[in-house]
Amino acid sequence: MGWTRGLALVLLVGIVFAADQWGIRWFRAPWSFAALGSTLTGVWEGPLRARQGAEYRILLNLEYAASGQRTMSASNITGTGQICTAHGDIYEYDLDGEASRSGDSVRVLLTYVDAVRSALGSRLEGSWSGQTLALRPLSNPFQPDGTFLPNRSVSTADPDDRFEAAELRKSDEASFLVACARLAR
């Protein structure tokens, strides 16, 4: 009789733990469950253009971040990112962010790990609509010709060279690399 109580207790603890983790995830990020249809998680890729005409490609690999997995309490997205330039450079990023329960508000912070090039980091904001992820980078760390300058200074007299909103679609890294090679020609 004692072992059945022990087994029942272990089973109960397991059910409570699973319900807690899946319940929190369901409440915070239903967009992370593939069984419900399209997800915000996965690989997103698309063109990125600056207002002065420089073209780039961006790739984001988004994953659900469980509560307590990241230092930012509101963070429920983690992953990696890449941006390629017409010069053939590919910059790799770590990614942290948050999405609202419906995905209609998405914020992503790209951080570049090399301190010398930390200015490459960027914050992106936008929304997910199931088939597309529309994000606008809030800063542009590149010169108008697409080169990166670590200590770029921009004055109000300079022409506006902010990034326009990027419309990303589900893709894969291979497609991103092919598009980057085309861009670099």
pLDDT at residue 147 in the model: 85
For residue 182, the 8-state DSSP code is H
pLDDT tens for 124-149 read 999 999 999 999 998 888 888 888 87
Within 14-165, strands assigned E span: 42-49, 55-64, 77-85, 90-99, 106-111, 122-128, 133-137
Q: Residues 164-183: what's their mean pLDDT?
A: 97
Residue with the two structure tokens 């997800």 = 39
pLDDT-based confidence at residue 113 (cuts at 50, 70, 90): confident
Collect all residues with Cβ–Cβ distance below 8 Å to 53 and sequence separation of at least 6. 144
- Using the predicted structure, report yes or no on whether residue 93 has a pLDDT greater than 80: yes
What structural domains does the chain harbor? 30-149+160-183 (2.40.128.120)
Distance of alpha carbon 168 from alpha carbon 83, whole angstroms: 13
pLDDT over threshold 90, residue 24: no
pLDDT tens digits for range 162-173: 899 999 999 999
Q: Over the stretch 28-85, which tens digit does the pLDDT of each residue have?
A: 788 998 877 899 999 999 999 999 999 999 999 999 998 655 444 578 999 999 999 9
User: What is the average pLDDT value for the chain, to the nearest integer?
Assistant: 85
Contact (CB, 8 A) for 124 and 110: yes
> In the 8-state DSSP scheme, what is residue 180?
H
In whole angstroms, give the CA distance from residue 61 to residue 70. 16
C-alpha span between 134 and 125 (Å, rounded): 8
pLDDT, position 72: 47
45-57 residue pLDDT tens? 999 999 999 999 9
Q: What is the pLDDT of residue 68?
A: 53
